Structure 1
């Protein structure tokens, strides 16, 4: 287990560029299983979760070649399904929730797929019913081995179907779409997720020969084809990193230019930070964060406390609520943070309270933050990163605090942020990896 040692209280200055989007990478890499031809993917973030998925595909028999930084070639002409039944695969897949997205492609192309109950962040109940109900609608048979915590889907033939998803699950929609592109007939998915990650996956599949309409909406129509060809695909900048850097600049009273952010794919993220009073200026495809010595949270027209809540796209992504919460601790004013999707994601706030933040945890989903308006700095302390997003929020808090903080279990942060200490140190941070 590694630790970050952070000497806080320093302002940062300079340019930083976001990595490729982690959530998109996990989807499009799995899509390489749908064809026996070469798939080239660029701008892959070389982070723990993504590299673990590439390793799983390699063990499955997929030829994986690193062509350069973030550039990979995948060829799934020879896939060894027997590996799916091995203890090694079980161990690898349990630690990576994104591994569940190999089910759809394997089912579509080979008629079966196995997956142990996936792991990932400990942020509350994360059910996978949507995945399997959708695949069953396409004609798959589903089996769950309770004793071994294994999922199995199989089908001699997939047939298109109409389905109304019970939730707009991003990974669930991705799995169903990847299965439906090779199903016979037309599949209609209503209440589909429409995040930029899913749009990118659909565009990639279209470039491979799939027939998908409604991309960017919550109503997808897929006309099945008999086979897909290879393609070249470039992953978008990671909107979660962009939001994390905006929050970091605000908390540390820094001037940072975030380069090549993919403005058109950020949705309401920049405007949501502006509601906290943060100066977020757009310069071409860059975001300039400056004049952050003081920022004041807006209130509603009637004077009531503003609420920042997550919602399916085009609403605010839940992956950034931890950052919004920590940034609000040094603002002027109060805000209610409402995390609707995961009931354990706000439990890291006890560490912020230990650091001197004024936060009332109302229940597992809601926290009220009373901003300190920089009248009192947060105190340095020792912490443990419980998940990726809480981990980056704690790192931001530690960088703004006076004194030296320690964050254990930083492997959680490494799962989502590539060389985060090196990149931030280049801007003037004081972070040591122990």
Structure 2
């Protein structure tokens, strides 16, 4: 397992135009659920295009401590075999510590409940971007017949699910992780489960297709109504993850901010939904060539207005709406566009709080409230300036990195290990395009 540095700082010399091609990593948000799905079977499962990022490596490490045999086949491919699971590890202090440091640890609950009938989990960690409830997960498990309790003193959840029964379940929110977790529990439950208002992201579609190859019976893939006929056991399979749509959106934004020509290779354009069209609303040109996205160098780009002439608003929404993970990228890109943009982050109330750092860099932004910000595009009339700042979370961190690459002078980004949680070798990969990023590890 790759040794992770606990403290990382990026020193960035901005103002350089980049050029070249870059291949997106495997999808982080897909990886966290696909990796947990290996717990559903005792047969070998091969997973390709795994992103080597902090959260994924920590999850692989956690699976190893649970007893999953892991074998590295190549740089981004692993074989997993969950034949001898150590359920006693769930009751160890090490499990509570490891699970508490990783938001994705909640995804082991569905598979463990389905296969073993019980699970124990501490409060998952992750970004401090606002409250992310687990109610959808637990209510779904309860509907299937699970019983859970929360130990307030030790801060862990106990769940018993020795006799899961299929049922019609209307999810109160189209939660991606909630849908994935309940889906993985339902594939081995007795009878038929119907999930309505299910998330339908490409990553959920990928999980469904993987489970079907393992022997699950799932209908309605790609819609918000999933029907699952429970089976007794699942077998092994081989799965290749999609490229990370958040990285792709970040690279589109990077090209625009720095006036660079960048080719994004193997982007799976058919799975990007409205991401390309949303960036086109900011005036960013792009050319699709086979499965590559080419962003030509643009000195200027202009934010569109709505048909009636009103100010463009970009907001997040469940798929097929615009992903909340790219809202911070859109906001940074707008600072150097011509025009005005309203950004409305509906889902997480703390995700826009990094804008104070952009304001310190010279951006013209009005933070209206925790969910909305108005960006007055400078149109490159005034360059951003380098400053010293701290990354608060993954998505804000990479947005600040993009801002630093477009700014004049030197920027220092502390807590850059947050960026490593979502973007593999981001400094090396961008330096290969001509960026000037120095990594300092402690």
Normalised by the size of structure 1, how large is the TM-score?
A: 1.00
Q: Which residue of 2 aligns with 1:162?
A: 168
Q: Secondary structure at the match of 1:288?
A: strand
Which of 326, 341, 352 matches 2:332? 326
Between the aligned partners of 1:144 and 1:307, the Cα distance in structure 2 is 41
Between the aligned partners of 1:147 and 1:376, the Cα distance in structure 2 is 53
Contact 1:122 1:344 in 2 (8 A): yes
Q: Which residue of 2 aligns with 1:147?
A: 153
Alignment of 1:12-23 (within 5 A): 12-23=18-29
Q: Which residue of 1 aligns with 2:365?
A: 359
Q: Secondary structure at the match of 2:336?
A: coil
Between the aligned partners of 1:187 and 1:292, the Cα distance in structure 2 is 51
C-alpha deviation, 1:291, in angstroms: 3.2
- Match status 1:27 vs 2:39: no
Between the aligned partners of 2:174 and 2:278, the Cα distance in structure 1 is 22
- Match status 1:40 vs 2:46: yes
- Match status 1:213 vs 2:219: yes
Q: Which runs of at least 4 in structure 1 moved beyond 3 Å after TM superposition? A: none
Q: Secondary structure at the match of 2:16?
A: coil
Q: Secondary structure at the match of 2:338?
A: coil
Q: Which residue of 2 aligns with 1:238?
A: 244
Between the aligned partners of 2:9 and 2:331, the Cα distance in structure 1 is 23
Q: Which runs of 5+ in 2 are unaligned?
A: 1-6
Between the aligned partners of 1:94 and 1:155, the Cα distance in structure 2 is 22
- Match status 1:175 vs 2:181: yes
Aligned residue-pair number: 434
Q: Secondary structure at the match of 1:371?
A: strand
Q: Which residue of 1 aligns with 2:4?
A: none
Q: Secondary structure at the match of 2:98?
A: helix
Q: Which residue of 1 aligns with 2:198?
A: 192
Q: Which residue of 1 aligns with 2:9?
A: 3
C-alpha deviation, 1:151, in angstroms: 1.1
Contact 2:255 2:297 in 1 (8 A): no
Alignment of 1:272-291 (within 5 A): 272-291=278-297
Q: Which residue of 2 aligns with 1:405?
A: 411
- Match status 1:93 vs 2:93: no
Between the aligned partners of 1:292 and 1:282, the Cα distance in structure 2 is 16
Between the aligned partners of 1:308 and 1:219, the Cα distance in structure 2 is 27
Q: Which residue of 2 aligns with 1:126?
A: 132
Between the aligned partners of 2:314 and 2:194, the Cα distance in structure 1 is 33
Q: Which residue of 1 aligns with 2:228?
A: 222
C-alpha deviation, 1:169, in angstroms: 0.4
Q: Which residue of 1 aligns with 2:3?
A: none
Q: Which residue of 1 aligns with 2:77?
A: 71
